[in-house]
Protein backbone atom coordinates (compact mmCIF):
# COMPACT_ATOMS: atom_id res chain seq x y z
CA UNK A 1 0.00 0.00 0.00
CA UNK A 2 1.34 3.40 -0.96
CA UNK A 3 0.85 6.16 1.53
CA UNK A 4 -0.39 9.39 0.04
CA UNK A 5 -0.09 12.66 1.88
CA UNK A 6 -3.49 14.14 2.43
CA UNK A 7 -3.89 17.81 1.77
CA UNK A 8 -5.07 18.58 5.30
CA UNK A 9 -1.89 17.18 6.91
CA UNK A 10 0.65 19.90 7.75
CA UNK A 11 4.24 19.84 9.02
CA UNK A 12 7.64 18.67 7.92
CA UNK A 13 8.78 15.16 7.27
CA UNK A 14 11.81 13.73 9.00
CA UNK A 15 13.87 14.00 5.79
CA UNK A 16 13.02 17.69 5.38
CA UNK A 17 14.03 18.39 8.97
CA UNK A 18 17.37 16.56 8.60
CA UNK A 19 18.19 18.41 5.36
CA UNK A 20 17.38 21.73 7.03
CA UNK A 21 19.62 20.91 10.00
CA UNK A 22 22.46 19.90 7.66
CA UNK A 23 22.17 23.18 5.73
CA UNK A 24 22.15 25.19 8.96
CA UNK A 25 25.28 23.30 10.10
CA UNK A 26 27.09 24.11 6.85
CA UNK A 27 26.19 27.81 7.12
CA UNK A 28 27.25 28.03 10.78
CA UNK A 29 30.56 26.31 9.97
CA UNK A 30 31.18 28.64 7.04
CA UNK A 31 30.69 31.64 9.34
CA UNK A 32 32.50 30.29 12.43
CA UNK A 33 35.79 29.27 10.79
CA UNK A 34 36.75 32.80 9.60
CA UNK A 35 35.69 34.27 12.96
CA UNK A 36 38.08 31.95 14.77
CA UNK A 37 40.87 33.01 12.39
CA UNK A 38 40.07 36.69 12.93
CA UNK A 39 40.18 36.16 16.68
CA UNK A 40 43.70 34.65 16.43
CA UNK A 41 44.88 37.59 14.31
CA UNK A 42 43.41 39.99 16.87
CA UNK A 43 45.19 38.26 19.76
CA UNK A 44 48.51 38.25 17.84
CA UNK A 45 48.10 41.97 17.09
CA UNK A 46 47.45 42.74 20.75
CA UNK A 47 50.57 40.81 21.78
CA UNK A 48 52.69 42.60 19.18
CA UNK A 49 51.32 45.98 20.25
CA UNK A 50 52.06 45.21 23.89
CA UNK A 51 55.64 44.13 23.09
CA UNK A 52 56.17 47.23 20.94
CA UNK A 53 54.90 49.53 23.69
CA UNK A 54 57.19 47.89 26.27
CA UNK A 55 60.19 48.11 23.93
CA UNK A 56 59.42 51.76 23.19
CA UNK A 57 59.14 52.57 26.91
CA UNK A 58 62.53 50.98 27.62
CA UNK A 59 64.33 52.56 24.68
CA UNK A 60 62.90 55.99 25.56
CA UNK A 61 64.18 55.64 29.13
CA UNK A 62 67.72 54.96 27.87
CA UNK A 63 67.42 57.71 25.23
CA UNK A 64 66.56 60.19 27.97
CA UNK A 65 69.72 59.22 29.89
CA UNK A 66 71.90 59.52 26.78
CA UNK A 67 70.49 62.85 25.52
CA UNK A 68 70.48 64.44 28.98
CA UNK A 69 74.19 63.76 29.36
CA UNK A 70 75.84 62.63 26.13
CA UNK A 71 79.00 61.72 28.04
CA UNK A 72 76.89 59.13 29.87
CA UNK A 73 78.16 55.68 28.97
CA UNK A 74 75.45 53.04 29.20
CA UNK A 75 76.46 49.62 30.52
CA UNK A 76 78.00 47.15 28.11
CA UNK A 77 75.33 44.48 28.28
CA UNK A 78 71.75 44.61 27.14
CA UNK A 79 70.68 42.84 30.34
CA UNK A 80 71.79 45.86 32.39
CA UNK A 81 69.69 48.16 30.17
CA UNK A 82 66.54 46.07 30.26
CA UNK A 83 67.24 44.56 26.85
CA UNK A 84 68.39 47.75 25.07
CA UNK A 85 71.72 47.41 23.27
CA UNK A 86 73.88 50.44 22.58
CA UNK A 87 76.42 50.79 19.77
CA UNK A 88 78.70 53.76 19.06
CA UNK A 89 78.58 54.82 15.42
CA UNK A 90 80.83 57.03 13.34
CA UNK A 91 79.47 59.65 10.94
CA UNK A 92 79.14 57.02 8.19
CA UNK A 93 76.71 55.02 10.34
CA UNK A 94 79.29 52.28 10.90
CA UNK A 95 79.82 50.63 14.32
CA UNK A 96 82.91 51.84 16.15
CA UNK A 97 82.75 49.64 19.23
CA UNK A 98 80.72 46.49 18.71
CA UNK A 99 80.64 45.40 22.34
CA UNK A 100 78.78 48.43 23.73
CA UNK A 101 78.82 52.14 24.35
CA UNK A 102 81.10 52.20 27.37
CA UNK A 103 84.32 51.83 25.36
CA UNK A 104 84.23 55.20 23.64
CA UNK A 105 83.19 58.53 25.11
CA UNK A 106 81.50 61.17 23.00
CA UNK A 107 81.04 59.30 19.70
CA UNK A 108 79.39 61.15 16.79
CA UNK A 109 76.27 59.04 17.12
CA UNK A 110 74.87 56.24 19.25
CA UNK A 111 72.44 53.61 18.10
CA UNK A 112 70.06 52.17 20.65
CA UNK A 113 68.14 49.06 19.67
CA UNK A 114 65.88 46.61 21.42
CA UNK A 115 64.35 43.33 20.31
CA UNK A 116 61.34 41.79 21.99
CA UNK A 117 60.09 38.28 21.26
CA UNK A 118 56.33 37.93 21.16
CA UNK A 119 54.84 34.65 22.35
CA UNK A 120 53.01 32.83 19.59
CA UNK A 121 54.52 34.94 16.80
CA UNK A 122 57.59 33.98 14.77
CA UNK A 123 58.94 37.47 14.05
CA UNK A 124 60.22 39.53 17.01
CA UNK A 125 59.62 43.27 17.47
CA UNK A 126 62.79 45.34 16.91
CA UNK A 127 63.08 49.09 17.53
CA UNK A 128 66.17 51.12 16.62
CA UNK A 129 66.89 54.73 17.56
CA UNK A 130 69.93 56.83 16.54
CA UNK A 131 70.92 59.48 19.10
CA UNK A 132 73.19 62.40 18.25
CA UNK A 133 74.57 65.11 20.53
Q: Per-residue pLDDT tens for 59-86?
A: 787 777 777 766 666 554 555 566 666 6
Instruction: Judge contact between 130 and 111, C-beta under 8 A.
Output: yes
Counting as low any pLDDT under 70, the low residues of the chain are: 1, 3-9, 69-108, 133
With H, G, I as helix, E, B as strand and everything else as coil, classify residue 39. helix
Strand partners, 85: 113
Q: What is the pTM of this model?
A: 0.57
Instruction: Judge contact between 88 and 76, C-beta under 8 A.
Output: no
What are the sequence ranges of the domains in the chain?
Answer: 16-131
Amino acid sequence: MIYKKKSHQVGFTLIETLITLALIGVVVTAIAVPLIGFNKVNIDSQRTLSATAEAQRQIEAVRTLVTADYDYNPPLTAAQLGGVTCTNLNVLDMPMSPSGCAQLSNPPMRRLSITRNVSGINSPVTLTLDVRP
